[in-house]
Amino acid sequence: MDKQPDAIMETGIAPLDEELGGIHYGDVVVIAGRAGSGKTSLSLAIAEHVSVAEDRAILIIPLEMEAEDVAPRMLTCRITAARVLGKDTGDEMRDVRNEGELIKVAESAVGPIIGNVITQTRILSKSGVDVGIDDVIDIIRDQNAQIDGGISLVVVDFLQLIRPDDTSESMNRAAQMQYIVDRLKEVAEELQLGVLLMAQVYTEDDTLEGLLTNDQFRAIANATDKVIFISKGEPDANEYYPVRIDVFKGVDNPIEEVDVVVDYQTMNFDHD
């Protein structure tokens, strides 16, 4: 599909889209939170929606996970939806470990609906590899050139694993992260695509007051278009987690708080 400069990609989570305004081409949206807060689950749920529901090409660059661990997590949403619709998918998804098996399961489960996750998604894992911001940008440029119509959304997981280049090596860590976000913003605007960038933020608590005193968070928020801060509560009896999502446009401009309930087994984000 041809890109439109003013096009908006929805996240698939209605209350979040209302506050975020979707993801525009040229945007860098940071999903920040503590380790284990659900950043990757949220980013993959958004990526899966953009790929399948909106039929757009996406690129995922995991710096911590292997590719064979990423794709099954994306397919979980579709597998769950298929079971709800009464289509038999079997239990083999739990054992999928390579691309060949993944495509086989996808095609046998619900055909092109799930198969679209495969055809529209490129996953280039750099887990355990020394990756700098120049490397990330080169990957984005190369993959964008290979896809007819270009990539619409890039997911990078996560910011702290990107090595600074010679220009930013002497900066403090907060300044380095702001520099990396600036570089990604440049390529997003040039190639007209959106970027979802995960970032770990360590705070003593999950209050806004504690968050806004964090130097790294402030640097990220000042450099990017929008920031989503995610924090996870304790599960209920059904293992559903209450999740709070705070949306920012700039560090001093929190927009709104969105509350959702998440089933992390199915990566299903429902409005509470």
Domain boundary among the residues 84, 102, 121 is at 121
My answer on whether 48 and 79 are in the same domain is no
Quote the CA–CA distance of 23 and 20 in Å, as a whole number: 8
My answer on whether 80 and 188 are in the same domain is no
Quote the CA–CA distance of 66 and 259 in Å, as a whole number: 30
Over residues 91-125, the pLDDT tens digits come to 443 333 344 444 344 444 333 333 344 446 777 76
Say if 258 falls within a structural domain: yes
Predicted local confidence at residue 132, as pLDDT? 92
My answer on whether 25 and 38 are in the same domain is yes
Those residues whose C-beta lies under 8 Å from the C-beta of residue 59, and which sit 6 or more positions away, are 121, 122, 123, 124, 139, 140, 143, 144, 151, 153, 154, 155
Quote the CA–CA distance of 159 and 28 in Å, as a whole number: 12
My answer on whether 172 and 226 are in the same domain is yes
My answer on whether 77 and 149 are in the same domain is no
Domain that holds residue 240: 8-65+125-271
Domain count, the chain: 2
My answer on whether 227 and 264 are in the same domain is yes
Predicted local confidence at residue 9, as pLDDT? 93
Torsion 183-66-57-87 (CA) sign: negative
Report the mean per-residue pLDDT for the chain: 75
My answer on whether 116 and 41 are in the same domain is no
> Is the entire prediction scored with pTM above 0.85?
no
CATH number at residue 246: 3.40.50.300
Predicted local confidence at residue 256, as pLDDT? 62
Six-digit token string for 201:
């933020």
